[in-house]
């Protein structure tokens, strides 16, 4: 495994020592350079020939604070991904951090080595994909300007459309095929029905003078039946009085770029190991469900928070690679028990969450117990050993009077804390009369597995 070269920008020696400690015991080979300000980072960049693989950035430095720190750091290391270390567990703030150019963010409280390593590797992969995508777009622009693409010449009056051999080849045709000759209608009819309105809208907007150029992306049916993506760009080259007569343009198969964009969006939304929604995406789903609760007072939504009991023992006993196998097995086991409209995400480390739309308190209790029982019966095989785990579950509901959409997470987390406090491998449902850290006297059933 390649050594990970890390630059830490952190002015608090205590926090820096904690990160160094976490990384030291993560089991991953790494080199760490520690600087205490952006000025020191700039000096370090001038003095070293080897660029870091990743920068870990604190936002409260002697020479910079807040979101502007990300922007300034990005200008110093434009080709290096940045992971922000923050004390803010706030959705709006985190989104601003990402918009400023960071690849990811981690909350300092509860930071663990393997979670930090995983976040850094995810940030590096996403940064590399963004760079490849940017290069692809730059190459596409250069190709368009050079004209080395499929070319068409469309007579808007007669409907005839001359197409280059390269354009025909991208669709599986040759000059001798009559299916696409000689006019434009057969080609337009091959546009995917979901994309046809966008194509015609872009064309009409351009011809009406509402857009400076005719450009759009759409799927075009190949001769063998599949649907590659195409980019088209054209302009009028001749007029019949006030009416456009000829439209000339180029066309490019952009299927690979579209696949890369889809993969990039997927990386931004999902946890790399389990394929589940990540924390940011899960909270966005919570926000949508909260909106339904606000519109429909009788719309019940349950929330479960699940934590693998004593998971650190698995990592310590078998190593992080086996720990990852257990995490994946846990996620797959839970996912098999859920309905299609339930929302399942990984919030961090061994902590997971489930949204249960249209599920009242009794339904939440039944689902929680079903999940707890399924995990209790799960065995993960590694070599000759079978690993058994259990899970503690805290439950709460989304309510109209919640101060913010993710308030239920706080309540479910308190219930989860009680489940662990009372012996683990059990379900606790949050009550409004509950005192954090103490058993819930209002719900006797919460003192035992439901």
Catalytic positions are: 350
Of the candidates 367, 241, 351, the residue with the CA atom closest to the CA atom of residue 301: 367
Instruction: Answer for the pair 330, 349: CB distance below 8 angstroms, yes or no.
Output: no
Question: Is 132 in a helix, a strand, or coil?
Answer: helix
Tokens of 194: 């979901």
Burial of 437 (0-12, 13-18, 19+ CB in 10 A): exposed
Question: Residue 391, Cβ neighbours under 10 Å: how many?
Answer: 29
For residue 398, what is the DSSP state?
Answer: -
CA–CA gap between residue 280 and residue 260 (Å, rounded)? 21
CA atoms within 13 A on the CB side of 199: 18
Residue carrying structure tokens 């190991």: 273
| Kind and range of the H or E run holding 170 | helix 165-170
Respond yes or no on whether the N-terminal peptide bond of residue 157 is cis (omega within 30° of 0).
no
Using alpha carbons only, how large is the chain's radius of gyration in Å? 28
> Over the range 126-156, which residues count as b (16 or more CB within 10 Å of their CB) and which as e?
bbeeeeeeeeeeeebeeebeeeebbbbebeb
Tokens of 61: 């430095």
């Amino acid at each position: 495994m390649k050594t990970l070269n890390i630059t830490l920008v952190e002015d608090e020696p205590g926090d820096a020592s904690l990160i160094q400690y976490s990384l030291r015991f993560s089991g991953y080979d790494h080199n760490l350079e520690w600087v205490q300000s952006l000025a020191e980072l700039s000096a370090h960049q001038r003095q070293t020939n080897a660029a870091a693989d990743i920068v870990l950035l604190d936002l409260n430095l002697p020479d910079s604070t807040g979101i502007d720190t990300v922007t300034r750091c990005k200008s110093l290391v434009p080709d290096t991904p940045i992971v922000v270390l923050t004390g803010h567990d706030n959705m709006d703030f985190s989104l601003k951090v990402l918009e400023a150019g960071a690849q990811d963010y981690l909350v300092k409280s509860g930071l663990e080595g393997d979670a930090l390593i995983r976040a850094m590797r995810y940030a590096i992969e996403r940064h590399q994909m963004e760079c490849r995508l940017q290069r692809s777009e730059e190459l596409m622009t250069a190709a368009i300007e050079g004209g080395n693409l499929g070319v068409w010449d469309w007579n808007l009056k007669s409907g005839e459309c001359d197409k280059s051999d390269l354009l025909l080849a991208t669709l599986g045709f040759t000059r001798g095929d009559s299916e696409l000759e000689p006019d434009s209608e057969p080609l337009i009819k091959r546009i995917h029905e979901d994309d046809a309105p966008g194509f015609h809208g872009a064309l009409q907007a351009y011809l009406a003078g509402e857009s400076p150029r005719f450009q759009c992306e759409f799927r075009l049916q190949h001769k063998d039946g599949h649907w590659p993506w195409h980019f088209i760009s054209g302009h009028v080259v001749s007029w019949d009085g006030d009416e456009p007569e000829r439209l000339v343009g180029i066309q490019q198969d952009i299927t690979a770029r579209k696949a890369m964009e889809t993969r990039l969006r997927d990386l931004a939304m999902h946890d790399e190991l389990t394929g589940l929604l990540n924390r940011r995406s899960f909270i966005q789903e919570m926000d949508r469900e909260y909106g339904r609760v606000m519109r429909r007072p009788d719309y019940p939504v349950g929330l479960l928070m699940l934590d693998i009991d004593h998971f650190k023992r698995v990592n310590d006993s078998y190593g992080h690679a086996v720990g990852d196998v257990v995490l994946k097995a846990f996620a797959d086991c839970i996912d098999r028990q859920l309905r299609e409209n339930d929302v399942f995400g990984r919030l961090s480390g061994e902590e997971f969450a489930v949204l249960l739309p249209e599920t009242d308190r009794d339904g939440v209790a039944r689902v929680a117990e079903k999940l707890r029982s399924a995990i209790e019966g799960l065995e993960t095989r590694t070599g000759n050993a079978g690993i058994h785990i259990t899970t503690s579950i805290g439950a709460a509901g989304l309510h109209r009077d919640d101060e913010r959409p993710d308030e239920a997470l706080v309540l479910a987390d308190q219930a989860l804390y009680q489940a662990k406090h009372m012996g683990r491998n059990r379900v606790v449902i949050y009550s409004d009369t509950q005192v954090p850290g103490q058993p819930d006297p209002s719900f006797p059933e919460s003192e035992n597995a439901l």
